Amino acid sequence: MTANLTDSQTTRLACEDLDAADPLASFRGRFDLPPGVIYLDGNSLGALPKATAARIQHVVIQEWGVGLIRSWNDAGWFDKPRALGERIAPLIGAGPGEVVIGDSTSVSLFQVAVAAARLRPGRRVIVSERDNFPTDLYMLESVQELLGDASGALERRLIHDDGPSLDEVLDEDVAVVVLTHVNYRTGRMYDMAEVTRKVHEAGALMVWDLCHSVGAVPVDLNGAGADFAIGCTYKYLNGGPGSPSFIWVAERHQSSARPPLTGWHGHARPFEFGVEYAPAAGMTRFRIGTPQLLSLAGLEASLDLWDEVDLAQVRAKSLQLTDLFIALVDSRLAPWGVEIVTPREHAVRGSQVALRVADGYPIMQALIERGVIGDFRGPDLIRFGFTPLYVSHADVWDAVEILEDILATESWRAERFSRRGAVT
Ligand SMILES: *Cc1c(COP(=O)(O)O)cnc(C)c1O
């Protein structure tokens, strides 16, 4: 026992050493995390930056309460979706004038998928992936129906790791390919440039969903030659619950793109209140209606923080944290049949690790009760997101230690851990 204790102490000390040398360490103090919590779910809902509450309060009390309607001009409300888009651009390899804040990610996916498909008239196939986040597939069903004709809806082809592959489904009928860069369940990451190249070779356009990429891994949309992209701001970007999506369109497509949802904030002259729609120039045409300004206040506060972050450091630490977690799971959790689903190869790994384990649901509930917050994705995956701005190496060590204890003592078998809430 003593020998084990010494071993483990040494290893935790090694983790503390890594934390002491961590160039991102100071960011942790910029977040409000409850004491005793190891938060490994920032890939679902990012943590709260300390500056956010005051920023939202300022918008409520000053800009709304005092400024009232004048704040549309005086506080820059009307321009906010463009202004914040410009600040997301450097995180995704986008240029000036290429990013605008949208609505929910689901709505924005619809906006760009239709706009993309309309640039390839006559092609009747939309390609996506069976393991994509379901809302993406659901929204694409509407795109297929909307753009169908007398002969029926557009055809859907779904790729899968067990086949068919992208190469097998691509041909001259494919209009658009819609893929999520980092998979929400497994954390597997695509080679953006290589996939985009193949899609273009078939004459189709590429739409990337960056929900699990932005703020987690460096992304270079222009470098990859991509066409359209959308992503979440409430996951790794820490914009707050319900903070809106962003939309990126390569500059070369902007003047010909025709998004389906044509609201007054996307109009060329919204305050002429004319009876006919005329699309605004550039990314503004992807806007729809009045932006969610309170949510944007939260996003703005989080972007102040991102302005200071070096994404290469984020990626380096993310790989260190996930490598450490994988190594500890390998060495300590094998007796309970825990299987690592996330790729071990750096080039194809995002910033999360998924474990396959029987009884994953009650095990995750037991972990959460002990202060280690991850989540469960049925039927048998427990998922851990590693957000380098506020997760430390010592957190990773402690999380595995607690998980090992829960498995060894089978404390997860207590009945209360099997009750399910509406959200897992
Ligand atoms: C989180 C996520 C979404 C969420 O869509 P909402 O409209 O914001 O609910 C969509 N797609 C992917 C791939 C996601 O990971």
For 30-39, 188-197, 413-422, which range has the lowest pLDDT when averaged over its residues? 413-422
Residues with a catalytic annotation lie at 133, 209, 234-235, 383
pLDDT > 50? residue 385: yes
From the CA of 103, how far away is ligand 1's center (Å)?
11
Alpha helices, H only, 185-292: 192-201, 221-224, 251-254
**Residue 421, pLDDT score:** 81
* Model confidence band, residue 2 (pLDDT cutoffs 50, 70, 90): very low
pLDDT at 9: 58
Q: Do 231 and 222 touch, CB atoms closer than 8 A?
A: no
State yes or no: 27 annotated in a binding site.
Answer: no
pTM above 0.75, yes or no: yes
Q: Would you state the pLDDT for residue 8?
A: 54
What average pLDDT does the structure give for the chain? 96
Ligand 1 pocket mutation, candidates 105, 142, 230, 351, criterion most atoms within 8 A of CB:
105
> How many whole angstroms from 133 Cα to the centroid of ligand 1?
7
| Domains of the chain, each with CATH number or no CATH | 2-49+310-418 (3.90.1150.10), 78-306 (3.40.640.10)
Identify the weakest region by mean pLDDT among 4-8, 322-326, 374-378, 388-392: 4-8
Distance 1 CA to ligand 1 centre (A): 46
* pLDDT of the residue at 222: 98
Report angle CA 34, 185, 25 to the nearest 5 degrees. Answer: 40
Predicted local distance difference test score (pLDDT) of residue 5? 38
- Is 265 known as a binding-site position? no
For residues 48 and 302, give the distance between their C-alpha atoms in angstroms, rounded to a whole number: 8
Alpha-helical (H) ranges within 21-158 are 52-58, 71-74, 80-88, 105-118, 134-146
DSSP states along 303-348? HHHHTT--HHHHHHHHHHHHHHHHHHHHHHSGGGT-EE-S-SSGGG
pLDDT for residue 273 is more than 70: yes
Under the banding of pLDDT at 50, 70 and 90, the label for residue 424 is confident
pLDDT of 3 > 60? The answer is no
Give the pLDDT of residue 367.
98
Q: How far is the CA of 137 from the centre of ligand 1 (A)?
A: 11
> Does 374 have pLDDT greater than 60?
yes
The whole-number average pLDDT for the span 242-263 is 98
For residue 4, the model assigns a pLDDT of: 39
Give the tens place of pLDDT for each residue, 171-230.
Answer: 999 999 999 999 999 999 999 999 999 999 999 999 999 999 999 999 999 999 999 999
Task: State yes or no: 135 annotated in a binding site.
Answer: yes
In which band, very low, low, confident or very high, does the pLDDT at 294 lie, cut at 50, 70 and 90?
Answer: very high
Nearest CA to ligand 1 atom 13: 133
Q: Is the distance from the beta carbon of residue 135 to the nearest atom of ligand 1 less than 6 Å?
A: yes
Ligand 1 near 137 CB (within 6 A)? no
pLDDT at res. 113: 98
pLDDT on residue 16 = 96
- 8 marked as part of a ligand binding site: no
Out of 45, 107, 110, 133, give the residue to mutate to test ligand 1, the one with the largest number of ligand atoms within 8 Å of its CB: 133
Bridge-based pairing state of the strands 205-209 and 174-180: parallel
Of ligand 1's listed atoms, the one at least distance from the Cα of 44 is 1
